[in-house]
């Protein structure tokens, strides 16, 4: 993974997600609090991504589709979800009798995604929804982990990886999202955090700081280190969580 661009504008949207009704409000507030902490780590904005040139194709879109189309990062993630879902639906793992339930699963996710709303306040919720769906598809279906057909483009998603650290009983589940800035989604025990890439002298470094403490994840090849509140500089190794799909 390349060195990422720190982007306050992009990560700042993570602070805006809220539920559309009473049942979703509490979950939305938790996402907003987590997102605000992540956004505080970003120092330099990108005017191109915050205020991109108008895309003529977006003029025909309305509602949530228009919000996604107008945002380069969300649009890229939307294409990635579509690509992964097509790989799964047309892959060897899915038999004809499985297609209806698979399609329903995708429709259900789309409905949940659209509950994020429209415009700037919805960007955080949409970003979180896309990262979660990408992780779900790549984790559950080998066909979704197939290499993209075009080798010249860096894939939007990579993983999942199993990160085994001294001092942690269970491995960390890591999914990498290659946007600007690059991000990593880490899950272990009952915790889930998204970290943003920051400049590093060597390797690739991701950080997040909030009121509860700091998270740092650094990788170089198959080695890694991880720090979280109450744990510092754990030595780790990283390997694909699943075997590579047969070609």
Tell me the pLDDT tens digit for each residue of 107-153: 999 999 999 999 889 998 999 999 999 999 999 999 999 877 665 56
Provide the residue ranges of all domains of the chain, joining segments of one domain with +: 8-145, 157-240
The one-character DSSP state at 159 is E
Residue 161 — very low, low, confident or very high, per pLDDT cuts 50/70/90? Answer: very high
Burial class (CB in 10 A: 0-12, 13-18, 19+), 30: exposed
- Enclosing H/E stretch for 77: helix 72-89
Handedness of CA 13, 18, 24, 28 (dihedral sign): positive
| Architecture field, domain 157-240 | Beta Barrel (2.40)
- Three-state secondary structure along 181-242? CCEEEEEECCEEEEEEEECCCCCEEEEEEECCEEEEEEEECCEEEEEECCEEEEEEEEEECC
Round the average pLDDT of the chain to a whole number and report it.
Answer: 80
Joined together, the tokens standing for residue 23 give 């049942």
pLDDT above 70: percentage of residues in the chain: 74
Residue range 143-170: average pLDDT? 86
- How many Cβ atoms from other residues are within 10 Å of residue 35's Cβ? 24
Give the pLDDT score at 200: 92
Give the pTM. Answer: 0.74
Q: Are 25 and 19 in contact (CB under 8 A)?
A: yes
Residue range 195-217: average pLDDT? 92
Residues in Cβ contact with 121 at an 8 Å cutoff, skipping those fewer than 6 apart? 16, 17, 18
Going by C-alpha positions, the residue among 33, 1, 6 that lies closest to residue 157 is: 1
The pLDDT of residue 2 is above 70: no
The pLDDT of residue 19 is above 80: no
């Amino acid at each position: 993974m390349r060195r990422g661009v720190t982007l306050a504008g992009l990560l700042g949207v993570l602070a805006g997600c809220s539920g559309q009704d009473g049942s979703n409000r509490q979950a939305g507030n938790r996402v907003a609090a987590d997102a605000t902490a992540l956004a505080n780590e970003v120092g330099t904005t990108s005017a191109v991504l915050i205020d991109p040139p108008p895309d003529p194709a977006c003029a025909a879109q309305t509602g949530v589709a228009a919000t996604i189309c107008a945002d380069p990062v969300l649009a890229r993630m939307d294409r990635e979800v579509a690509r992964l879902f097509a790989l799964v639906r047309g892959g060897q793992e899915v038999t004809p009798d499985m297609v209806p339930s698979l399609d329903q699963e995708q429709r259900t996710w789309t409905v949940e995604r659209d509950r994020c709303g429209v415009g700037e306040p919805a960007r955080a919720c949409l970003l979180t929804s896309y990262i979660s769906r990408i992780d779900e598809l790549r984790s559950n279906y080998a066909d979704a982990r197939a290499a993209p057909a075009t080798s010249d483009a860096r894939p939007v998603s990579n993983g999942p990886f199993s990160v085994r650290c001294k001092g942690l009983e269970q491995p960390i589940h890591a999914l990498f999202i290659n946007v600007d800035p690059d991000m990593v989604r880490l899950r272990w025990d009952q915790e889930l955090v998204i970290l943003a890439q920051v400049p590093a002298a060597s390797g690739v470094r991701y950080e997040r700081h909030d009121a509860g403490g700091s998270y740092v994840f650094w990788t170089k090849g198959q080695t890694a280190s991880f720090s979280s509140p109450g744990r510092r500089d754990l030595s780790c190794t990283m390997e694909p969580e699943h075997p590579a799909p047969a070609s």
